[in-house]
């Protein structure tokens, strides 16, 4: 297992765990952390023994945004040409489902990082927001695009234009959060969700994620066509035969990820 400076990684069964670990900066995303996060996620994504990834932070912060102190003196050229945040684009494209387990602050790039994930489980302590406007910038890692798609234009506009934070309950009602759980249960619940996903057929899980992602990026008619093609193609898999035979024979399916 690779040793990292700003994250911790662990494999539990078929689940890869990534824990952001810069407590001195509330897990602010600096270039080292983004590079390490992208590396760890790519390694899990390339491993057929991993069926789901959990991404979490600390009790106090999932991530309080990009590292403002590292970013403050940058020029426009540096922000584009030497952009360390390209690693987050790679992270957002992993084919393995990612469960974000969010406690405490998920602000700015931290909220945007959570929004690259497929499922967001929030502790009742979680706070979400896009406070960039208070720093004299705007969200730059997807907040102006993913947040309106998640919670609607008007609520997203209020958050982006004022910098106000939402608590976990408001985020759940708005549709940003899959489910809120007591803080003490967050990691256990995230583990249960991840285990449930990792117990399914891996190629089918990849297909489901790809079709879900298409819903965010294509028209409904293109998405429906894509879904139908993917659905039909899954009948080439041994796991489709096994899943349906298991139903008929009233037993649990034994997926081989083939
Ligand atoms: N960056 C650096 N350090 C941070 C930080 C951050 N985002 N957030 C917290 N810290 C540090 C604090 O400076 C403090 O360090 P010391 O002073 O002890 O050395 C330590 O973490 C504890 O924080 P506080 O003392 O402030 O703790 P409080 O409980 O009082 O307050 C807070 C917690 C989360 C409300 C507060 O820390 C806060 O407001 N943090 C900043 C939140 C924020 O504005 N986030 C958005 C950042 S901007 C892009 C690249 C990046 C981005 C976009 C585009 N491209 C390449 C296209 C992303 C931008 C952002 O995310």
Say what the pLDDT of residue 2 is. Answer: 87
Q: What are the tokens at 258?
A: 């083939």
How far is 201 from 197, CA to CA, in rounded Å? 9
Q: Is the CB of 165 under 6 A from ligand 1?
A: no
Say what the pLDDT of residue 82 is. Answer: 82
**Test site for ligand 1: of 25, 69, 114, most ligand atoms within 8 A of the Cβ:** 25
Say what the pLDDT of residue 138 is. Answer: 98
Say what the pLDDT of residue 178 is. Answer: 98
Q: What share of the chain is helix, strand, coil (3-state, %, to 5)?
A: 50, 15, 30
pTM of the predicted protein model: 0.97
Say what the pLDDT of residue 81 is. Answer: 85
**Test site for ligand 1: of 26, 74, 138, most ligand atoms within 8 A of the Cβ:** 26
Say what the pLDDT of residue 83 is. Answer: 85
Q: Is the CB of 108 under 6 A from ligand 1?
A: yes
Q: Is the CB of 131 under 6 A from ligand 1?
A: yes
Walking along the chain (258 residues) 10 residues at a time, the average pLDDT comes out as: 94 98 98 97 98 98 97 91 89 98 98 98 98 98 97 98 98 98 98 98 98 96 98 98 98 97
Percentage of residues of the chain with pLDDT beyond 70:
100
Asked whether the beta carbons of 108 and 89 are under 8 A apart, the reply is no
Say what the pLDDT of residue 84 is. Answer: 80
Percentage of residues of the chain with pLDDT beyond 90:
96
Say what the pLDDT of residue 190 is. Answer: 98
The single-letter DSSP state of residue 19 is E
How far is 113 from 129, CA to CA, in rounded Å? 12
């Amino acid at each position: 297992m690779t040793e990292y400076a700003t994250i911790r990684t662990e494999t539990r069964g078929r689940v890869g765990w990534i824990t952001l670990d810069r407590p001195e900066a509330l897990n602010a995303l600096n270039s080292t952390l983004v590079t390490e996060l992208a590396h760890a996620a790519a390694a899990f994504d390339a491993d057929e023994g991993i069926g789901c990834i959990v991404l979490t932070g600390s009790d106090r912060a999932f991530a309080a945004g990009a590292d403002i102190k590292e970013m403050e003196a940058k020029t426009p050229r540096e922000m584009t040409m030497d952009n360390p945040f390209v690693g987050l684009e790679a992270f957002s494209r992993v084919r393995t489902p990612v469960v974000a387990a969010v406690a405490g602050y998920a602000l700015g790039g931290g909220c945007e990082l959570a929004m690259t994930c497929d499922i967001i489980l929030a502790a009742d302590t979680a706070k979400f927001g896009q406070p960039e406007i208070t720093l004299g910038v705007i969200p730059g890692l997807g907040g102006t695009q993913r947040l309106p798609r998640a919670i609607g234009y008007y609520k997203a506009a209020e958050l982006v234009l004022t910098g106000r934070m939402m608590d976990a309950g408001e985020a759940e009602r708005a549709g940003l959060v899959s489910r809120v759980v007591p803080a003490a249960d967050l990691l256990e619940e995230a583990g249960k969700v991840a285990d449930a996903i990792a117990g399914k057929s891996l190629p089918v899980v990849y297909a489901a994620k790809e079709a879900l992602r298409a819903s965010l990026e294509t028209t409904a008619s293109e998405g429906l066509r894509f879904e139908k093609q993917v659905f039909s193609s899954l009948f080439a898999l041994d796991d489709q035969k096994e899943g349906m035979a298991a139903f008929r024979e009233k037993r649990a399916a034994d997926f081989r990820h083939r």
